[in-house]
Amino acid sequence: MVEIRISGRGGQGAVLASQILAAALFENGLQVQSFPSFGAERRGAPVSAFLRADPEEITLRCGILHADWIVLFEADLLDNPVIMAGATPSTSVVLNMPRPPEKFDRSRFQRIFFVDASGIAERLRLRTTSFSIVNTAMVGAFACASGLVDMGSIARAVQALVPVKREENARAAEEACEQVREMVA
Amino acid sequence: MQTLQAENELVHPGSFSCPGCGLTMAYRHVLKALGRNTVVVTTAGCGSVVAGYYPMTSIKVPFFHCSFGTAASTAAGLRAGLDMMGKENTQVLAWAGDGGTFDIGLQSLSGAAERNDNILYVCYDNEAYMNTGVQRSSATPPGTWTTTTPGEAPEDRLKKDIVGIMAAHGVPYIATACTSFPEDLRKKVRRARAIPGFRFLHVLAPCPTGWMYAASETVHIGRLAVSTRTFPLFEILDGETTRLSPMPDKVPVTDYLKAQRRFRTLNEEEVRRIQEDVDRRWSRLSSAGRRKEE
Amino acid sequence: MKTLMTGNEAAAMGARMSRPQVIAAYPITPQTSIAEKLAGYTARKEIEARYIKVESETSAMAACIGGSLSGARVFTATSSQGLALMHELLHWAAGARLPVVLVNVNRSMAAPWSLGVDHNDTLSQRDTGCLQIYCETAQEVLDTVPMAYALAEKALLPVLICMDGFLLSHYTEPVDLPNQEDVDRFLPRRRADYRMDPNRPFTFGGGVSAEVLYGLRRRMQQDMDAAPALWEKINRRFRKIFARSLPAVETHGMEGSDLALVTNGTMAGTVKAYLRDRGAEKGVGLVKMRFFRPFPTESLRKVLEGCRAAVVVDRDLSPGGGGIFAQEVRAALHGTGPGIPVVSVIGGLGGVDVTPDHLDRLVTDLRSRRELPFETLWMEV
């Protein structure tokens, strides 16, 4: 079973990102389960969404205790202990940042990927009045970083689930897939 | 003058009411005016006792005893269901006392009025919780003795202006009526029947048991309530237009108060203040409405 | 058709496919999205129904009662405090023998304020005369709604469908969506023999003598007693069309196990995950209780026969009494053969996580004891 945690700030669309990924993984023949963090939602506050995927039926009903993957819409959430709960050295991360982090403890994670999702979203004018909407870009980056899901499925899930600017969002996922890079030692 | 034809009766003779019960008269007239294609919901109260005790029933149309606070919302659900069952022409009557309307039922009443649910809501007002043995409600007028406003501390609050509250909802039809003016009451029910949407009738139903007068005096007491303008008769259309109904000439309020022992502790000063309050409300009402001979 | 949906979407879809004619609901977390979905279906005329936007849950249930009296099929959904507000009306609905179906998204009762799941809201409705069915998955929720109508309209009692807040209501998961034609075949329109019809007038719910009330209550108990057999019949019919069934009590891995973990709702799913990894090695099986009212005493006795102990994990608490399911299981097993000890464990209140590790620690602890505890155990958080 693969367990994934997607974190951003309230309003950035982390929950939708997990649903897009769930739909794409489901189309790839996997059983999936996606859910938001519990509680009243507030714009701007750190939020998480969760995803499980497995070839077998998933019956587990509890929070994700160990994340195989953590996808962060804002790299500064790396320092948030609540968001990073469940991260271990066997966890891999996908970060929204234009270049690899400097002075970074490489041993914290198994693999580290980065992508300038904000830049992609800005260029495609995917934004609200206060921040850029990076969820579809981050989904694309995750897909290509992890190799767990193909981009065709992602594109179809974006078309099916994103309520506005479907073309731009599909483009964002595609561009992020091409641009995502792994940080090398 | 129209005669009351016995063949149109929807209430069986004989009921569990006290002798001289005002609401039983209202029950009979309202149903007579509504006709056979009617269903009724009623809340706890004298009305549910009058309705009968299994295996007896006092009524010839379908009847449901609902929870105390939910006459309006139960009726709203029934209305929706009947519409879906193709029975759009069936009238839904919510029948509730002052407790079930002014107090515990006010929230559901407000909800149904605000949604303009297509029901006729009739409040039979006997100005206290009579079925439980005379406790004050927010419909109890100042100076009244009840078991919860005993002689040492009679009711000292004004009666809640339920009609004003309903008018603020902007419902298509509101009327006040009194059992002592049966033609007026039935005319208003027939008018209400023809109007779609939420209709509210506030019917004063004198109660010999709780108001403490002789059972034979119910019609007289009701007439005094109207002629003193303690309970004026009028209609409000769409929450805007007030139309006064024909009423006998005005007489002093003391005639009404003195006729009932529930007001026995009132002193002259208190009677004067009640008269002032009645006059103030009457002058406001008569300037809002225009007298219309019908 | 296989698709993804949340538990709440499944509830709304189950309701939609059952063709309710009157819907009355009031928003409350975590139920709200059910009401939103149904309002949308009605507004877009995807279902032929009246949606009454009531001003409280009391009025929601009152409107359902009124709607049901007309002979129409009615639906509502609520949660926690909203269900508590309906409490009086649930007695009215059951007493008037109306087949109202409602979904409750379980959430703990205030105070203090919490959005997490436990079952105190529905278990507080134990004695209202509503049947209670607990669901584990979105598929179960979707299937249970039409089955609940079939049961309610036969037994003439309301059915309260219970689903865990967030752990089910907000989890997106695969669901096999039935065809509307198949659902219509399974669940034809309601036929109400007694309804508010001016052509055939009846008085409902009026005053009765003590003897009549006594008789009516006895009748209610008899109809509750008959419900499990009725449910089996409904299940057989459902399985024929949809190749799925939802028995009142379900077991997993009980063969060769001497310890039964007895639980309900989504907790059963976590137990299944635990059993898959460690069940055989620990000698543990699962007894999942779908029904709470009527209490499936006979089925329970059958599946627990020969067990060394039944460990009841309650996501609820009757303060001063302990786990509610545990009490009921104890009562159900009392007087059977050699007697099966019941261990009562409280876990998951307010939605606190219960993981396979928690379950493993519980089982390991119980295995290490010489005597099984009678006092209530609390899972560590």
Q: Are residues C109 and C201 in the same domain?
A: yes
Last residue of a domain, one of C181, C209, C242: C242
* Residue C134, phi then psi, degrees to nearest 5: -100, 135
Pick the residue from chain A with its C-alpha nearest to C355: A62
**Does a structural domain hold residue B2?**
no
The number of domains in chain B is: 1
Cis peptide before C27 (omega within 30 of 0): no
Q: Are residues C82 and C109 in the same domain?
A: yes
The pLDDT tens digits for B206-251 are: 999 999 999 999 999 999 999 999 999 999 999 999 999 999 999 9
Residue tagged 């039964």 (tokens)? C260
Q: Nearest Cβ partner of C355 from A23, A36, A65?
A: A65
**Does a structural domain hold residue B57?**
yes
SS3 C381: coil
Pick the residue from chain A with its C-alpha nearest to C277: A60
C43 class by beta-carbon count within 10 Å (0-12 exposed, 13-18 middle, 19+ buried): exposed
Provide the domain limits for residue C214.
2-242
Res. B64: pLDDT tops 60: yes
Q: Are residues C238 and C254 in the same domain?
A: no
pLDDT at C16: 98
Which chains, if any, share at least 3 CB pairs under 8 A with chain A? C
SS3 B58: coil
Say yes or no for a CB contact (<8 Å) between B53 and C207.
Answer: yes
Cα within 13 Å of Cα(C68), Cβ side: 30
CATH of the domain at C211: 3.40.50.970
Token readout for B169 is: 């909802």
SS3 C367: helix
Task: Name which of A39-43, A113-117, B44-48, C172-176 the model is least confident about.
Answer: A39-43
**Between residues C283 and B15, which one has the greater pLDDT?**
C283
pLDDT bucket at B65, cuts 50 / 70 / 90: very high
Q: Are strands C291-293 and C131-134 parallel, antiparallel or unpaired?
A: antiparallel
What is the enclosing helix (H) or strand (E) of C181?
helix C180-186
Q: Using a CB-CB distance cutoff of 8 angstroms, which residues of chain A are in contact with residue C354?
A: 62
Q: Are residues C320 and C207 in the same domain?
A: no
pLDDT at B273: 96
Q: Are residues C276 and C199 in the same domain?
A: no
Q: Nearest Cβ partner of A33 from C29, C164, C171?
A: C171
**Does a structural domain hold residue B247?**
yes
Burial C240-272 (b: 16+ CB within 10 A, else e): eebeebbbbbbbbbbeebebbbbbbbbbbbbbb
Say yes or no for a CB contact (<8 Å) between C197 and B62.
Answer: yes
pLDDT bucket at B3, cuts 50 / 70 / 90: low
Pick the residue from chain A with its C-alpha nearest to C270: A60
Are C118 and C106 contacting, i.e. CB atoms less than 8 angstroms apart? yes
Q: Which residues of chain A have pLDDT under 70?
A: 39-42, 185
* Residue C330, phi then psi, degrees to nearest 5: -55, -45
Q: Are residues C24 and C97 in the same domain?
A: yes
Say yes or no for a CB contact (<8 Å) between B77 and C22.
Answer: yes
Say yes or no for a CB contact (<8 Å) between C70 and B85.
Answer: yes
**Does a structural domain hold residue B3?**
no
B70: left (phi > 0), else alpha (psi -120 to 50), else beta? alpha
SS3 B286: helix
Last residue of a domain, one of C187, C210, C242: C242
Q: Are residues C176 and C283 in the same domain?
A: no
pLDDT bucket at C245, cuts 50 / 70 / 90: very high
Distance CA B129, CA B98 (A): 8
pLDDT at B292: 45
CB pairs under 8 A between A and C: 60
Res. B290: pLDDT tops 70: no
A95 class by beta-carbon count within 10 Å (0-12 exposed, 13-18 middle, 19+ buried): buried
pLDDT at C279: 80
Query: What secondary structure does DSSP assign to C83-140, as a single string?
Result: HHHHHHHHHHHHHTT---EEEEEE-PPSSSP--S--SHHHHTTGGGS-EEEE-SSHHH
The number of domains in chain C is: 2
Say yes or no for a CB contact (<8 Å) between C29 and A40.
Answer: yes
Provide the domain limits for residue B90.
8-291
**Does a structural domain hold residue B145?**
yes
Say yes or no for a CB contact (<8 Å) between A58 and C4.
Answer: no
Q: Are residues C220 and C269 in the same domain?
A: no
Q: Using a CB-CB distance cutoff of 8 angstroms, which residues of chain C are in contact with residue A161?
A: none
Q: Using a CB-CB distance cutoff of 8 angstroms, which residues of chain C are in contact with residue A63?
A: 353
Q: Are residues C167 and C127 in the same domain?
A: yes
Sequence-ordered list of residues with C-beta below 8 angstroms from that of A88, at least 6 positions apart, any chain: A66
Say yes or no for a CB contact (<8 Å) between A62 and C164.
Answer: no
Mean per-residue pLDDT, C343-366: 97
Q: Are residues C235 and C315 in the same domain?
A: no
CATH of the domain at B163: 3.40.50.970
First-residue to last-residue Cα distance in chain C: 39
Sequence-ordered list of residues with C-beta below 8 angstroms from that of B209, at least 6 positions apart, any chain: B18, B130, B134
The pLDDT tens digits for B104-158 are: 999 999 999 999 999 999 999 999 999 999 999 999 999 999 999 998 899 999 9
Query: What secondary structure does DSSP assign to C198-215, as a single string?
Result: TTS--EES-B--HHHHHH
Residue tagged 């209609």 (tokens)? B235
Q: Using a CB-CB distance cutoff of 8 angstroms, which residues of chain C are in contact with residue B67?
A: 58, 62, 88-89, 92
Are C169 and C107 contacting, i.e. CB atoms less than 8 angstroms apart? no
Are C195 and C34 contacting, i.e. CB atoms less than 8 angstroms apart? no
Whole-number mean pLDDT of chain B?
94
Q: What is the CATH number of domain A2-182?
A: 3.40.920.10
Say yes or no for a CB contact (<8 Å) between B84 and C64.
Answer: no
Last residue of a domain, one of C190, C216, C242: C242
In A138-177, the residues whose Cβ lies within 8 Å of chain C are none
Answer yes or no: is the ipTM higher than 0.90: yes
Q: Are residues C16 and C146 in the same domain?
A: yes
Distance CA A122, CA A132 (A): 6
First-residue to last-residue Cα distance in chain A: 28
Return the number of other C-beta atoms located less than 10 Å from residue B285's C-beta. Answer: 16
Say yes or no for a CB contact (<8 Å) between B74 and C66.
Answer: yes
Are C192 and C152 contacting, i.e. CB atoms less than 8 angstroms apart? no
Q: Are residues C126 and C264 in the same domain?
A: no
